[in-house]
Amino acid sequence: MDQTAYTYLALGDSYTIGESVLLTESYPYQTVQILRDKGKNFHAPEIIAKTGWTTDELQTAINNYHFQPKYDFVTLLIGVNNQYRGKSSAEYAKEFESLLKQAIKFAGNNTNHVFVISIPDWGVTPYANGRDSKKISKEIDEFNAIGEKTSKQYGVQYLEVTTGTREAATDESLLTSDKLHPSAKEYKRWSTKLTEAILKQLK
């Protein structure tokens, strides 16, 4: 592996690829750009994510992917589609834990360099009109509680972005034109948090 620049692996779904925004506006790319602007040498992020993926579909993709021996930093954001499709929290807990263990392995077992990002609340978006938004928010909270608990259990860092995404209820500039996915402006807020967390590890 090229030691002259840091590597970053991002695992996830539509929120990781940046559905409906430019690739460079996704949070992994914005994070790398901010880090470069701060004088840190980073390769472009390696992204394994697809719109609509659940935990088991991400797992299938991982099983069929050829990884580098290790990555300097790894992020994991997955679960919204489990909630959307009505999959159980018990199933999510089991599959998320397995994915997190693999993320840690990808980071060379350096738990300080693994970041779990909380699931945004799409229940507040116009896309959810006509649905039970309170039920959606409650289930997202349940899934995030699992993610946070598992993160603490394995000693990885947990970045909470869900609270901020709920501001989209009154600020549509935080959403793309599809009225569902975060805008570049919202991803910038995630990237700022992630950058700060990564910089602490690079001191």
Residues 87-96: b if buried by 16+ CB within 10 A, e if exposed: bebeebbebb
pLDDT of residue 4: 73
pLDDT of residue 1: 38
Cα–Cα nearest to 79, from 52, 47, 119, 128: 119
Q: Is 19 left (phi over 0), alpha (psi -120 to 50) or beta?
A: beta
**Residue 22: what are its φ and ψ, rounded to 5°?**
-65, 150
Sheet with 8-12: strands ordered across: 46-49, 8-12, 73-76, 114-117, 157-159
Indicate if the pLDDT at residue 2 is higher than 50: no
Q: What is the pLDDT of residues 66-109, one digit of tens each?
A: 999 999 999 999 999 999 999 999 999 999 999 999 999 999 99
Q: What is the pLDDT of residues 120-175, one digit of tens each?
A: 999 999 999 999 999 999 999 999 999 999 999 999 999 999 999 999 999 999 99
Dihedral (CA of 35, 38, 23, 187) sign: positive
Domains annotated on the chain, with CATH? 8-202 (3.40.50.1110)
Q: What is the pLDDT of residues 12-26, one digit of tens each?
A: 999 999 999 999 999
Average pLDDT, stretch 13-41? 96
